[in-house]
Amino acid sequence: MIELEDFFEDVIGKTIRGTGIADGVLSFLTNVEPDAIAKLKNGEFDELAVRAIAPALGLDANCLVELANRVWRPESVELEGLRQSNTVFDPDPEDMMTVNSYLIWDPQTKEAALFDTGADASPALDMAKNLGVDLKTLFITHSHIDHIIDRERVVEAHPEIRVLVNAKEPVAGAERFAVGETFSIGTLRVSTRLTWGHSPAGTTYVIDGLSRPVAIVGDALFAQSMGGGVISFKDALATNRSEIFTLEDHTVVCPGHGPMTSVGEEKAHNPFFPEFKS
């Protein structure tokens, strides 16, 4: 079972860094002592303090408490034409990080595509071989090293593979495209949406033609969290809202880290998007 990528303190920390709000200002706005805020950022849970600061940070308090208590996780996804590979990028036991890649194939034609390489592409390549699918394309969500580090292995195994990335993401040797372009995997349609902010031109790939729509989102969105606003926190939030949360609720969301989820589940459980809560 793949664990949730973030803890409640990660959500708080990403928001504080992204908004640039100082602890002293947050303390003034919420009447929560700076020392208590520092403890929250360090992972020391205090429900009253969390509920006090959440609205000032634009977060949903109930979802943040739910995340802190680890009482929810998304439903498992079983979908013909979709497989997830999860590999270890940083083996440090104190801060182990895993990263996902995804194999998508057309059940009719057996044409397949890989989305990102993960830390080790071998499991995904073996999966494609065992399924008897024809791997023709490698789609890259964004250029951060943990998502593309094993590209050479993929190309060596499939010398004719087409490697595609948004034109504004720096990946040497990849074929570049403009956002809005569409592609195909057999009879499946792949559309591209710009979900930037975590990276300069992160791309969400929406695949139609399976029994459920699928969105490969990279680090734009995680189950109960999202990628940090490395480039722009404001735009990361905005493009998630406009490009991911406008998809159908039953759309499978395939993040770069953590378990698969769905648009509807994130509307209900993601603290970064309080407007969807009833």
Q: List, for residues 114-170, the tens digit of each pLDDT value.
A: 999 999 999 999 999 999 999 999 999 999 999 999 999 999 999 999 999 999 998
Strands (E), the chain: 82-90, 97-105, 111-115, 134-139, 162-166, 175-177, 182-185, 188-194, 203-208, 214-218, 252-255, 261-262
Per-domain residue ranges of the chain: 8-69, 82-276
Structure tokens that stand for 113 in this block: 């595509």
Residue 82, SS3 per DSSP: strand
Q: What whole-number distance in Å separates Cα of residue 113 and Cα of residue 105? A: 6
pLDDT at position 91 over 90? no
pLDDT of residue 176: 97
Give the CATH number of domain 8-69; options: 1.10.8, 1.20.1420, 1.10.3470, 1.10.260: 1.10.260
pLDDT at position 90 over 80? no
For 237-274, how does the pLDDT look when each residue is reduced to its tens digit (9 = 90+)?
999 999 999 999 999 999 999 999 999 999 999 999 99
Mean model confidence pLDDT for the chain: 97
Q: What whole-number distance in Å separates Cα of residue 86 and Cα of residue 117? A: 10
pLDDT band at 173 (very low <50, low <70, confident <90, very high): confident
pTM summary value: 0.96
Report the relative pairing of strands 188-194 and 182-185 from DSSP bridges. Answer: antiparallel
pLDDT of residue 93: 66
CATH topology of domain 82-276: Metallo-beta-lactamase; Chain A (3.60.15)
